[in-house]
A and B are shown apart, each in its own frame.
Chain A
């Protein structure tokens, strides 16, 4: 079946630096790509999404880039803060009918060093 995966399981950055979390996907038919943040002991929290016909979208301190040519998705977090420490999941939503659940990658653990 289709899959969504991540390049790095753990990323450690200094507080105040920018961080980039990468994700590879294989389902070219996905309508949307989404980033979720999961803190320890909590459910995932929506961060930002991007539609498949876009290549960049910005939010507050976050930017998502989509490169459909190489099927690559990234999340950039500017000026990281201690509260950014969490596991970050990329996810995709398929197009058309069928399952409306999201397909999640395995996650990247972002560690912010003081």
Chain B
């Protein structure tokens, strides 16, 4: 079946603009995660959704970052008033609720803030 998909694959924006990144998880996966990967670095956890429960926002770096998950499926990560330090690859992953160890990652969105 289809894996996790993300769009756009690349996004170039100017400092101060808002951006929206989209994630389509694997069908049937109720857990969804967003991570950020800076150049040459490991992954930094941002936010976690489980079904219709309130998301775990403990990893969001500032209040300019927010995320939504509509209908328990598609998720959107929004970054307001982008800064150059927001440049990174944003990765989305999903998993079955009962197995949060095996996370399936999408290809990521490469965000460049000029």
A interface residues, Cβ below 8 angstroms from B? 4, 32, 34, 41-46, 49, 89, 91, 93, 98-107
Contacts and interface: CB of A to CB of B under 8 A. Distances in A.
Given A98-B58, A100-B31, A101-B35, A46 B45 contact: no
B88 to A, nearest CB: 13
10 contacts: A49-B101, A89-B43, A91-B43, A93-B100, A99-B56, A101-B46, A101-B47, A104-B35, A104-B43, A106-B42
Contacts, number: 63
Interface string B13-49: 0000000000000000001010100001111111110
Contacts of B56: 98-101
Contacts of A91: 43
Of the candidates A34, A99, A107, the one having the most CB atoms from chain B within 10 angstroms of its own CB is: A99
In this complex, the interface size class of chain B, counting residues with CB under 8 Å from chain A, is: 20 to 34
B107 A46 contact: no
Contacts of B31: 100
Contacts of B41: 106-107
A104 B60 CA distance: 16
Of the candidates B40, B42, B45, B59, the one having the most CB atoms from chain A within 10 angstroms of its own CB is: B42
A92 B72 CA distance: 26
Contact of B4 (A34, A43, A102): A43
B58 A99 contact: yes
A49 B102 contact: yes
